[in-house]
Amino acid sequence: MSFLTILAFAGAMFLLAVTPGPGVFATVSRALASGFTNAAILVVGIILGDIVYLLMAIFGLKSIAMYMGEFFIFVKYIGGVYLIYLGYKILTSKQSSTNIKAKSELSWKKNFLTGLLITLSNPKVILFYLGFLPTFVNLNSLKVFDILIIVSITIFVIACVLLSYAYSASGAKKLFKSKSAQKKMDIAAGSVMITAGGVLILKA
C-alpha cells in the first residue's frame, strides 16, 4: 500500500467511524452513566468485533459470515433488547450513576461483551468491508504487511473516534455535581442507550 492509499483509507475510515450508530450511542451512554474507563472497555469489544469481520472480508470468508448471519439475526435482537434493558435500568435507578460507579467498574467483562455483541450482532458489517476495501486495495493480492496496516489503521481510527466520544461525554458528566444534574445525566445516558438498542434492532 502506498502512503497516499493509507491516508485515503484512514480518512474514509474516520468519516465512517464518526457517523453516529449503535456503537457511538452505546459508547456515549456508557461514558455518561459509568465514566470513561467503562466506556473504553466497551470500545475494545466493539473494535474486536470489527476486526473479526474485517479479517473475514480480507480472507474471503463471506459465505461463513452469511451462514453465521442466520444465527446472528437472533443475536442482534437479543443485543438490542439487552441495550434497551440497560437503558431502562439507568433511567429507573434510584441511585445516581456516580454512587454506583465503583460497582459498575467491576463489570468490565459485561462492558467488553456488550461492545463485542454490538458489532457481531450485525453480520452485514462484512458486506460493508467487502464493498469498501476494494476501493483502496486489491483483496486478491494483499500481503501480510498490507493486512497489518489495514488492521492497525482500523483499530487506531475507531479507537480514536469512539474514545473521543467517551472522553467528551465523561467530561460533561464531571461538570454536573448536584443530584438533580446527575439525574438528568442519567436520563440522557439511559435514553441514548435505549436509542442504541432500537437502532441495533431496526437497522437493516
pLDDT score of 124 more than 70: no
Q: Which residue has the higher pLDDT, 55 or 80?
A: 55
- Please state, in angstroms and rounded to a whole number, the distance separating the CA atoms of residues 165 and 168: 5
pLDDT score of 81 more than 50: yes
pLDDT score of 127 more than 90: no
Backbone torsions φ then ψ of 189, nearest 5 degrees: -65, -45
| Nearest residue to 123 (alpha-carbon basis) of 177, 79, 90, 170 | 79
pLDDT digits (tens, 9 = 90+) for 144-181: 999 999 999 999 999 999 999 999 988 876 665 556 66
Residues contacting residue 161 through CB under 8 Å, at least 6 positions apart: 14, 17, 18
pLDDT digits (tens, 9 = 90+) for 1-46: 788 888 988 998 898 888 888 888 889 888 888 889 999 999 999 9
Q: What is the pTM of this model?
A: 0.74
Q: What is the mean pLDDT of the segment spanning 86-107?
A: 60
- Please state, in angstroms and rounded to a whole number, the distance separating the CA atoms of residues 160 and 61: 28
